[in-house]
Amino acid sequence: MRTAVNTIKPAVLLLVLLCVAHTPASAQPLSEAAGPAQSASGGPDSNELQALVFYLQQRNQVSAEAELRRLKSKYPSWVPPTDLNDVTVTQPSSEIDAIYKAIADNELPLARSLIVQAQSAYPNWTPPHDMTRLLTLAEGQQKLDQALDAGNANQALQIATSIDGLLQCDRINNAWRIAEIQGAQNADSAALTTYRAILNSCNVTTELFATIEKADAVTSNEELSGLVAIVIDRFPDETETFANLEKRLLAGRGAPVGNLALRSDHAEKLRPKTRPTKRATVAAGASVPAASSPARPTSSGCSPSDASARSPQRLMAYGWCAHNLDRPMEALNAFRSAEAKLSGAPKREARFGMSLAFLKLNMPDEAARIAANTRFTRQQRVNVEKQILDQRGNRAYKQGDFSKAIAYWDAFEQINGHMTREQLVLRGYAYYNNGNKPKARQIFQKLHDQLATSETRRALGLFHDD
């Protein structure tokens, strides 16, 4: 019996994605576009005084006088203070930097507290719209992550659609995670609707490529072909790329899965959450998390404003910050923008970041394309290639291509020097399903001798009748 999952109507999700996908980043609410608000005294508010404050702090007297003339012309009834230096003490400075840093570090209660403190110290100061928007969005993301981690698709959808920006295409990971939960809860039609909305709304073809790969688990052959048709219709120049993707995914469904002689209790544990009624064949495989990427330290200068910066150095800082916060799409966009402006070793570093972002998105083929065309340092190449091999091994295992999975993991072990216990267990089952029971037993026995667990006992139990 399938569990019903409440979800928003298809048109609503599509509308949300369409609106944010085509709204310019510089767009402002109508209330702001009409002009800055005046203070109660009829003069400029704290936001409009920021330029004057900046010039005074920089001791740029010419610019400060020009800005003062502009303000007096705009607000004829406003009487500026006799000592213009008095303006500077009514505006926070280092406090603003601290607030933005707290937001970037995801210390949101601290950010709220710092805003309250700044308003208390500077009664005429109003937090700028960009600050409050970033904080609201970060708080919304935190609530959304909690709902997603709890597997509550209905609550996640309510949060995502109630806070502007959470279903924006540059946060595509949110929609992906919602769809994955819907699929895990057997709400295939809801998951399909979410994937279809992404494909109709977002414009980065690598993201659309990943979306179709993710939709593979919840679609029939006809539904999968329909998703591919959406992208080809929107991006005809990419027809060959997406036609090949469709061909590969459909071929994977009809590929032989080998001798699945696992005991039923263990087979259920290892089998991915696929839909036998919609798939031509169910491949035996484990739902294995992608290999973790080596983390870069978060730069102390990384702030949300770096995301839209023109400086490649600030874009790189933001890319590593987003990478460490597990927001690979944001990281990929930042690295890609920085890479276009760099050369030499910095360009190589940006391409390394792009590779790691693709790997966090579980897109090893895209990471491999970058690695093949970049002269990485030896350490960078090892970091990237071992993750590519691991992810390809996991994918081959899920698809029932056990020989290929073993080959990938053997290559991984050769590069990395060792394998994790989880990888060794899967390699043991790959040998078992591929007909090499002696090798499988050897692997399981060695793991059991190192650390006997219920998992190794179940694995060795497969050989009791031999």
- Residue closest to 403 by CA, chosen among 442, 441, 438, 433: 433
How far CA 459 is from CA of 270, 439, 456, in Å, comes to: 12, 13, 5
- pTM score of the predicted model: 0.43
Which helix (H) or strand (E) segment holds residue 211: the answer is helix 205-215
- How long, in residues, is the chain? 466
- Residue closest to 317 by CA, chosen among 333, 330, 332, 298: 298
Question: What is the rounded end-to-end Cα distance, in angstroms, of the chain?
Answer: 37
Structure tokens given for 68: 């003062």
Give the pLDDT score at 72: 86
Per-residue model confidence as pLDDT tens for the chain (466 residues): 333 333 323 334 443 443 334 333 333 322 232 233 344 446 777 667 767 776 777 677 887 888 888 888 888 888 887 766 666 556 677 788 788 888 877 899 999 999 999 898 888 788 888 788 889 999 999 999 999 989 888 898 889 888 888 888 888 889 999 999 988 888 888 889 899 989 998 888 888 988 999 999 899 999 999 999 999 999 998 899 899 889 888 887 763 333 323 323 343 333 233 333 333 222 222 222 233 334 343 334 456 666 666 788 888 888 888 888 777 878 888 899 999 999 888 999 999 999 999 898 888 888 988 988 899 998 899 899 999 999 999 989 988 899 999 999 988 888 888 888 888 999 999 999 999 999 999 999 998 888 888 888 888 988 876 6
The model's pLDDT over 73-101, given as tens digits with 9 standing for 90+, comes to 888 888 887 766 666 556 677 788 788 88
Give the pLDDT score at 333: 86
* All structural domains of the chain with their residue ranges: 10-21+153-254, 43-135, 259-284+401-466, 289-399
Specify whether the CB–CB gap between 311 and 319 falls below 8 A.
no
The SS3 call for residue 315 is helix
Distance CA 121, CA 415 (A): 57
The model's pLDDT over 302-326, given as tens digits with 9 standing for 90+, comes to 566 666 667 888 888 888 888 887 7
The model's pLDDT over 239-291, given as tens digits with 9 standing for 90+, comes to 998 998 898 888 877 633 333 233 233 433 332 333 333 332 222 222 222 33
Which helix (H) or strand (E) segment holds residue 361: the answer is none
The per-residue DSSP string of 80-140 comes to: --SSTHHHHTTS-SHHHHHHHHHHHTT-HHHHHHHHHHHHHH-TT----HHHHHHHHHHHH
Q: What is the largest CA-CA distance in the chain?
A: 97
Distance CA 112, CA 18 (A): 31
Which residues is 38 bridged to in the sheet? 44
The per-residue DSSP string of 46-92 comes to: TTTTHHHHHHHHTT-HHHHHHHHHHHHHH-TT----SSTHHHHTTS-
- For 42, which DSSP code? S
Burial of 54 (0-12, 13-18, 19+ CB in 10 A): middle
- Residue closest to 4 by CA, chosen among 186, 196, 181: 186
Give the pLDDT score at 256: 35
Give the pLDDT score at 204: 85
Q: Phi/psi of residue 180, each to 5°?
A: -65, -40
